[in-house]
């Protein structure tokens, strides 16, 4: 006689045990420490923090270890943990103009106050596998310069002084919080940027790339890209004043984009803006391009029908945790819906067979 398959609970437990074994890998090879991941896979840690929307390198490193290096799975672990954290308050907006920069470049000016600082970049490396790394040799220390105490003013501020770039309205009200309120359309720019900064790097990159190839082109220049640390300040109600509660590494990109103007309005460049946790240049630049593309309405441009201009399309599909969950859920049993379709198809086929030829 037929007996339905049972034992779901036991199967799950065994699968989890096997998973833990696979994660550990060959026990003859030393186990990775969280500190090693944090210290040596920093760009992976940064991506997990950025898309996990939680600035904590130790937790991100732990998540990467637990996820066997699957960064989307690691981001998911961080997001699920983040939800459970109580909120003590909101920090002041960080002042990226006062960033202690490790890297700061502009593609629009050859030289500028504060200078071009290449910093730790892959940009001019030759992408040749370095077999010395396989030999686990120590890396010689890099040359060091004394930090330049000169300020690094924002590039867009130079343009702003001349009125060459459109100014941004200063908004005093608190921005809405994507993680506490349901997404609603049309979404304000602050909300769009939240969705982009925690959006999937690959998705945002693809959207940005599509604008460069003509699907909503907006002629971007990297006005400035800066990577460094910013202090985070928060007002403590009991104290009545703000104190520094820590610092975060950030990557910021401001693009200078195609100008707008008419016979009555003087021509001005426009801006796109990207900001992510950690060192994430690809993501920050992509975000700036997509941010700019989504601003077509407020800047009086035409909707060319490009995907990157479509706020609902971009925002509803940028989140890799939503996307991967829904995509992978089709692994779950669907016998019931499938059965109902099978039955319908059988019925429709029978109806065709029985129908008199005409």
Partner 1 sequence: MTDDLREYNFAYLDEETKRMIRRALLKALAIPGYQVPFASREMPMPYGWGTGGVQVTAACLVPEDRLKVIDQGADDTTNAVSIRSFFARTAGVATTERAAEATLIQTRHRIPETPLREGQILVYQVPIPEPLRFLEPRETETRRMHALEDYGLMHVKLYEDIARHGAISTAYAYPVKVAGRYVMDPSPIPKFDNPKLESAAIQLFGAGREQRIYAVPPYTQVVSLDFEDHPFEASKPDHPCALCGATDSYLDEVITDDAGARMFVCSDTDYCATRQAGGAA
Task: List residues binding partner 1 (CB under 8 A).
Answer: 1-2, 4-9, 11-12, 16, 76, 79-80, 82-84, 86, 179-186, 312, 316, 321-322, 324-330, 332-337, 339-344, 347-348, 351
Element (H, E) at 104: strand 100-105
- C-beta of 43: minimal distance to partner 1 in Å? 23
Tell me the C-alpha distance between 297 and 24, whole Å.
51
Shortest CB 196 distance to partner 1, Å? 18
| CA-angle at 158, arms to 229 and 94, nearest 5° | 25
We find the least distance from the C-beta atom of residue 114 to partner 1, in angstroms, to be: 39
Phi, psi of 103 (to 5 degrees): -150, 140
Our CB check for partner 1 shows the closer of 27 and 186 to be 186
Q: Is the preceding omega at residue 186 within 30 degrees of 0, hence cis?
A: yes
Report the residue number, 2 or 124, with the smaller CB distance to partner 1.
2
User: How far apart are the C-alpha atoms of 309 and 293, rounded to whole Å?
Assistant: 5
Residues 106, 255: Cα–Cα separation, whole Å: 10
For residues 293 and 234, is the Cβ–Cβ distance under 8 A? no
From the CB of residue 97, how many other CB atoms can be counted at a distance below 10 Å?
A: 13
Q: Which helix (H) or strand (E) holds 234?
A: strand 221-236
Q: Are 284 and 292 in contact (CB under 8 A)?
A: no
Which DSSP string do the residues of 244-274 spell out, in sequence order?
EEEEEEEEEEEEEEEEE--SSS--EEEEEEE
Nearer to partner 1, 158 or 296 (CB): 296
Residues with Cβ within 8 Å of residue 72, at least 6 apart in sequence: 200, 320, 321, 324
- Residue number with CB closer to partner 1 (243 or 344): 344
Name the minimum Å distance from CB 54 to partner 1: 11
Count helices and strands in the chain by DSSP H and E runs? 13, 4
User: Nearest approach, Cβ of 86 to partner 1 (angstroms)?
Assistant: 7
Among residues 72 and 91, whose Cβ is nearest to partner 1?
A: 72
Provide the minimum distance between the beta carbon of 298 and partner 1 in the complex, in angstroms, as a whole number: 17
To partner 1, the closest distance from the beta carbon of 12 in angstroms equals: 6
Nearer to partner 1, 146 or 337 (CB): 337
Indicate the residue among 6 and 170 with the shorter CB distance to partner 1.
6
**Closer CB to partner 1, residue 43 or residue 344?**
344
Residues with Cβ within 8 Å of 308's Cβ and at least 6 positions away in sequence, in order, are 207, 208, 210, 211, 215, 216, 289, 290, 293, 294, 314
> Least distance in Å: CB of 177 to partner 1?
8
């Amino acid at each position: 006689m037929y007996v339905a398959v049972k034992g779901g609970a036991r199967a799950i437990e065994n699968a989890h045990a096997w998973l833990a074994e696979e994660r550990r890998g060959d026990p003859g090879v030393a186990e990775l420490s969280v500190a090693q991941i944090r210290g040596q896979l920093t760009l992976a840690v940064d991506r997990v923090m950025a898309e996990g929307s939680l600035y904590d390198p130790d937790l991100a490193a732990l998540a990467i270890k637990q996820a066997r290096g699957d960064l989307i799975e690691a981001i998911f672990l961080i997001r699920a943990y983040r939800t459970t954290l109580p909120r003590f308050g909101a920090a002041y907006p960080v002042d990226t103009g006062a960033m202690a920069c490790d890297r700061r470049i502009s593609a629009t000016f050859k030289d500028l106050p504060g200078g071009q600082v290449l910093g730790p970049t892959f940009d001019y490396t030759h992408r040749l596998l370095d077999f010395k790394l396989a030999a686990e040799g120590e890396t010689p220390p890099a040359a060091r310069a004394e930090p330049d105490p000169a300020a690094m003013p924002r590039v867009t501020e130079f343009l702003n002084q001349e009125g060459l770039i459109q100014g941004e309205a200063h908004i005093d009200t608190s921005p809405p919080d994507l993680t506490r309120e349901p997404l609603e359309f049309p979404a304000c720019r602050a909300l769009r940027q939240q969705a982009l900064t925690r959006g999937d790097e690959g998705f945002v990159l693809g959207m940005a790339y599509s604008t460069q190839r003509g699907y909503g082109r907006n002629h971007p220049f990297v006005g400035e890209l800066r990577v460094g640390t910013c202090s985070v300040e928060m007002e403590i109600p009991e104290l009545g004043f703000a104190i520094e509660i820590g610092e975060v590494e950030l990557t910021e990109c401001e693009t200078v984009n195609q100008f707008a103007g008419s016979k009555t309005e003087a021509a001005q460049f426009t801006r796109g803006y990207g900001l992510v946790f950690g060192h994430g240049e690809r993501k920050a630049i992509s975000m700036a391009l997509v941010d700019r593309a989504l601003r077509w309405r407020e800047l009086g441009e035409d909707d060319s029908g490009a995907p990157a201009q479509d706020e609902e399309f971009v925002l509803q599909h940028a989140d890799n945790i939503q996307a991967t969950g829904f995509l992978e859920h089709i692994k779950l049993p669907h016998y019931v819906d499938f059965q109902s379709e099978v039955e319908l198809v059988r019925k429709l086929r029978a109806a065709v067979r029985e129908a008199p030829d005409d």
